[in-house]
Structure 1
């Protein structure tokens, strides 16, 4: 080796080492709905965090004793009369006599339920038991449109904003934080799937939107074409489209900067509908980015009987145990939800398990347990219901069990479940709700 070449060898080695170190600080990358694991060459030598992490919230015990079977994870109801689900259950019972009745549940969450993971099975079990056909709300565009199993979609020529990644955009965000504008030559096509008998056809649907002026759209379903006119309106408007149970529906819209599309709601004449309002990276605080008027207009159209809040993983840090800021903000969120959806019960779902490689093996982050306690305290303070998903998964190191299961029930990022894990947890949540329903009926 020449002398001048030898001079550059240590420099190149340092650059290579610096590159490896930098890889551990890259944000997670998602491909086809799966989050790739971050490269971290130091994970095997990291020390376990101190076990005496300061607890910033007291452990809250239920006000009343919970008679819960060993094979179920029961709700902790902190409402004044321990009857948070009363409106939901009465509405479900009324479905038997109301052939046009619809019972709607809003499921606000983060990437944990993205692509209808977990939420899809929960919805399907409710519809199998109480009736209903269709997935409810779907966005105009989606990063997981092909990953999702309950409905498929192709789309082109739209501009989409979301309240988490573009909070400063001056667009009228709806409560679920996704807003889309049609560009010239736009198109959105939805397809039924074989996820279950309740998804093998597309039922009728409604267009949710806002526009300063009337505009036109074209709908083609199984070869039948409809030209429609949508009226102008503030906040959230809707327009119903009849397609008579089709396999495929295509939509195109006029292009206008005054048009804001908020998605579509696929639903049959009656039954239970669960709207999956997942938003990647959301800690729950984006619900405050929408005005009270927008929340109330959504409630006017949907009349939700239950609001489910599933957040937490995006607020958890392995180095921060002070969740006081999160508690303050979630208190504001729940106050807004109570004011905007006064008829609805509210259920807060805790964060699930999340693991990190420490001393060569994956273990539950200690701060996960603190977040669960913080969320229980939030539920108690706001007098709403609480469901411990961390416990439902199995508690300590359960994410490791999910990842190493055969077949796996979670992704190798040790944070997100897959469809198999989602089916398991969705079934547990359904069983918890059904247990409360049967208990209420017996009274």
Structure 2
């Protein structure tokens, strides 16, 4: 009422004709929408709200001018690389950057378990890509089970390689709860058991190697003993986990079951990190995806936690899949990322001395330009940055962007029937993840077979 009276007092000559007021209001509204394009991106409850730009479909793409001088590193690929295959680029001199990992694969024949730590962000969340990569390796080298699974997970029902439901835990992670001074493990997840807690884990039909549970290991830390109730195959057992002031494990034989239920005595000083599902000799790939992580969270976990995890797992290979959260279409400064990732890799070399390192380049990523989706111009810059990081640290590098098909390949993945990527033009779905996993596996085995003949 007040608003109408105010407008009428401003325009007395036309107070009986509301068309004029409507036109004025529309102009104000249009001006407001246009002005939104100059507002900086904001975050609400931790989620980034995209900038609204009414002219994004018609204006030309802006090419950001990089403020970082990136040394041009020529892709180092062997002449023997098959045509059409994206081979692993090896920047170690005189010896393969993956030689320790390849040697460990030979030890499987004598009963050894070979382990891979696959650190990444939401690109491999829910075991997308990683699940198929693991299954291919286990099909060739043996092993069954998905490895370490966080005690609780927001994507537990989305994941296809194992299912979970749970209740009664307070859950934290290194990216979204960094202010909580908790003893986070390197993979960043931590759960505290409350009253009436339980966690049910279910096998799936994803593959022959995910249909049964035969052995689990509980990863934890606690200021006092923990009583654990375990129900599997309609048989209940109670065990007591000893006090532990760093990451510790407890192995439990289950026989063969499709479901296991775990309950823990409530205690604010107990930190449950995850359950490892495995069985027999072979290869195991732990999916350590953490949404929103650019790789820097690996430096937040204390060195003692890294050392404890490595002592337990004895990783032969560490795969790093990061970069998506460190860039966007406007990124121009790469110095900080080069500096941080160099530090991350040097710390991994120090704390996982027996492990080889494979750095994955970012996938294709698209945004809307002139009304259609195209590859961000900064994607190839990030890949140059990642290749430089690999070369400076003398580690292996695999170009996911090239393996997908290069420029605008994400658009093709989205358009495929059935679709192989999500409508955010950034993340693959399970079908697309399977395709990229096959390509990575093929490149890794190509190098492995070549190594065996040397």
Give the structure-1-normalised TM-score: 0.92
Contact 1:56 1:321 in 2 (8 A): no
Match of 1:47 among 60, 75, 78: 60
Q: Which residues in structure 2 correspond to 1:172-187 (within 5 Å)?
A: 172-187=183-198
Contact 1:37 1:413 in 2 (8 A): no
Query: Who is 1:195 aligned against?
Result: 206
Deviation of 1:352 after TM superposition, in Å, equals: 0.6
Write the deviation string for residues 57-84 of structure 1: whole angstroms up to 9, x where unpaired.
Answer: 1221256744210132111111233312
Q: Which residues in structure 2 correspond to 1:301-312 (within 5 Å)?
A: 301-312=312-323
Deviation of 1:173 after TM superposition, in Å, equals: 0.8
Q: Structure 1 residues 14 and 185, CA, compared in 2 at 3 Å: closer, same or farther?
A: farther
3-state SS of paired residue (1:43): coil
Q: Which residues in structure 2 correspond to 1:422-441 (within 5 Å)?
A: 422-441=433-452
Contact 1:55 1:370 in 2 (8 A): no
1:240 is the counterpart of 2:242: no
Deviation of 1:326 after TM superposition, in Å, equals: 0.3
Match of 1:59 among 72, 75, 83: 72
Q: Structure 1 residues 155 and 36, CA, compared in 2 at 3 Å: closer, same or farther?
A: farther
Query: Who is 2:83 aligned against?
Result: 70
Gaps of 5+ in 2: 8-17
Query: Who is 2:262 aligned against?
Result: 251
Greater Cα shift, 245-254 or 60-69 = 60-69
Q: Which residues in structure 2 correspond to 1:254-273 (within 5 Å)?
A: 254-273=265-284
Contact 2:169 2:191 in 1 (8 A): yes
1:145 is the counterpart of 2:156: yes
Gaps of 5+ in 1: none
Q: Structure 1 residues 384 and 153, CA, compared in 2 at 3 Å: closer, same or farther?
A: same
Match of 2:100 among 87, 96, 105: 87
Greater Cα shift, 48-57 or 121-130 = 48-57
Larger Rg: 2
Aligned mates of 1:267, 1:55 — CA distance in 2: 45
Q: Structure 1 residues 28 and 386, CA, compared in 2 at 3 Å: closer, same or farther?
A: farther
1:217 is the counterpart of 2:228: yes
Superposition RMSD in Å: 2.7
3-state SS of paired residue (1:94): helix
Contact 1:364 1:397 in 2 (8 A): yes
Deviation of 1:27 after TM superposition, in Å, equals: 6.3
Aligned mates of 2:133, 2:229 — CA distance in 1: 33
Deviation of 1:164 after TM superposition, in Å, equals: 0.9
Match of 1:346 among 354, 357, 365: 357
3-state SS of paired residue (1:114): helix
